[in-house]
Amino acid sequence: MDRDGAWQAIDAQRLRVAGVLEQLSDDDWRQPSLCAGWTVRDVAAHLTMQQVGLRQLSAELVKARRDVIKSRGSMNRLIHDAAITRSALPTEQLIAEIRGMVGSRRHNVGVTYRETLLDILVHSQDIAMPLDRPLEVPPDAAALAASRAWSRGWPFYPRKRMRGFRLVATDVQWAAGDGAPVNGPMAAILLLITGRLVVLPMLSGDGAVALGARLTTSTG
């Protein structure tokens, strides 16, 4: 998938997730997402920030960043605090802002379109799966996002966490790692790489049980 294809996939996923969000009840918005410590609303608010530049940060977000630095906290905490701040916006505005990014090729400072694709694909499932709302993830787009996540260190460190296993997609040509095979749909492998262990039952292969045991133990 080239750059143009990636942006088309980003736009399509933004429209899909906006469509799901429009169907949710107030209680659904308050439900826990797959992202630990985040509600569905928090994740939706985070997705409205895929084009935020440094100059656009509100005073509250600047203060949150300073607090993290002072306390030697993590970037994850900063990102979470930013989402919490945004989550106070009206529901209709959050949905409108996600839709409003369709067609734009802007992305956050310090990342590329690949991270933007990774962000929307994974977080759309963080919202949809706990609510049992099927949401398509095209295998070719998931493959590009998974390759990006696999090649990076922070924040998932998949090559370290999954050393000794070879991940193999069953619906697109994609594989990574060396060792006992772990097979599954590309979307499930993407979520596995990014720490969503809910997909473990979707995996097969000689290494699936052992990898599941390792990851479950390391996060328990």
CB 125 within 8 A of CB 135: yes
Mean of pLDDT over the chain: 90
* Residue recorded with tokens 């600047």: 62
To 10 degrees, the CA torsion angle through 120, 126, 129, 132? -100
DSSP string, 164-215: EEEEEESSSS-EEESEEEEEE-HHHHHHHHTT-GGGGGG-BSTTHHHHHHHH
**Least confident interval from 1-10, 105-114, 201-210:** 105-114
- What is the mean predicted confidence (pLDDT) over 107-121? 91
Residue ranges of the chain assigned to CATH 3.30.1050: 139-219
Of residues 111 and 13, more confidence is placed in 13
Please tell me the distance from the alpha carbon of residue 10 to that of residue 64, in angstroms, as a whole number.
28
Please tell me the distance from the alpha carbon of residue 44 to that of residue 17, in angstroms, as a whole number.
9
In this predicted structure, the answer to whether residue 136 has a pLDDT above a threshold of 90 is yes
Predicted pLDDT of residue 110: 78
Please tell me the distance from the alpha carbon of residue 176 to that of residue 30, in angstroms, as a whole number.
36
> Tokens for 121?
């694909």
Q: Domain 3-128's class?
A: mainly alpha
In this predicted structure, the answer to whether residue 109 has a pLDDT above a threshold of 90 is no
In this predicted structure, the answer to whether residue 199 has a pLDDT above a threshold of 90 is yes
Residue ranges of the chain assigned to CATH 1.20.120: 3-128
In this predicted structure, the answer to whether residue 130 has a pLDDT above a threshold of 90 is yes
- What is the mean predicted confidence (pLDDT) over 189-213? 98
Predicted pLDDT of residue 15: 98
In this predicted structure, the answer to whether residue 137 has a pLDDT above a threshold of 80 is yes
- Each residue's pLDDT tens digit, 49-97: 998 765 555 454 555 555 555 434 566 777 777 788 889 999 999 999 9
- What is the mean predicted confidence (pLDDT) over 24-53? 93
- What is the mean predicted confidence (pLDDT) over 163-176? 98
Please tell me the distance from the alpha carbon of residue 4 to that of residue 11, in angstroms, as a whole number.
11
CATH code for the domain defined by 139-219: 3.30.1050
Predicted pLDDT of residue 80: 79
* Residue recorded with tokens 């100059």: 55
* Residue recorded with tokens 């977080």: 123
